[in-house]
């Protein structure tokens, strides 16, 4: 009887260890990021806004969302390197489907998946990446949203 109870307890422990074992390397994280002119330094006066969702899973960064009401035609969208209130260099160019009047656009996840190498992952982990939308009037950026730290 004692052997039976011991075996049952071991089985339960084994079952719990298998089912409760977290897999952080493969867990997906996603963050919503508001795009706005006031996120730039100095702030940009614009009626434009946007919302993107950035997700990270298995070394792949995905971006999806949209933006609208830009003050002039859309020129480009990028994932940039830089801390909050700091301008930086382009890491990835986002693929955008612009609106008919080019004052807005849609960013589709299937077209915006980027592999992060070992040198780029710490930038994401420390929150040193941001989304930047540029326009004809604001070539350095009209809308910006900082990507919060993600592991």
How confident is the model over 35-78, as pLDDT tens digits? Answer: 999 999 899 999 999 999 999 999 999 999 999 999 999 999 99
What is the model's pTM? 0.81
- Please enumerate in sequence order all residues whose Cβ is within 8 A of that of 115, keeping only pairs 6 or more positions apart, or say none: 59, 60, 61
Average pLDDT value for residue range 12-22: 52
Write down the domain spans for the chain: 24-147
Q: Return the pLDDT at 151.
A: 83
Higher pLDDT, 78 or 9: 78
> How big is the chain, counted in residues?
151
Q: Quote the Cα angle for 80-83-88, to 5°.
A: 40
Q: Return the pLDDT at 23.
A: 44
Class of domain 24-147: mainly beta
Could you please report the per-residue DSSP string of 17-83?
HHHS---GGG--EEEEEEEEGGGSSS----S-EEEEEEEEETTEEEEEEEEE--SS-EEEEEEEE--
């Amino acid at each position: 009887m004692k052997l039976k109870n011991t075996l049952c307890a071991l089985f339960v422990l084994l079952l719990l260890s298998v089912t409760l074992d977290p897999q952080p390397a493969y867990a997906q994280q996603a963050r919503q990021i508001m795009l706005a002119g006031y996120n730039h330094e100095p702030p940009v006066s614009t009626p434009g806004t946007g919302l993107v969702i950035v997700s990270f899973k298995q070394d792949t960064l995905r971006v999806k969302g949209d933006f609208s009401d830009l003050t002039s035609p859309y020129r480009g969208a990028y994932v940039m390197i830089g801390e909050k209130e700091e301008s930086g260099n382009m890491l990835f160019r986002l693929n955008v489907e612009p609106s008919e009047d080019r004052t807005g656009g849609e960013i589709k996840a299937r077209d915006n998946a980027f592999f992060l190498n070992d040198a780029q992952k710490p930038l994401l982990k420390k929150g040193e990446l941001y989304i930047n939308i540029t326009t004809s009037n604001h070539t350095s950026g009209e809308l910006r949203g900082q990507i919060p730290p993600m592991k």
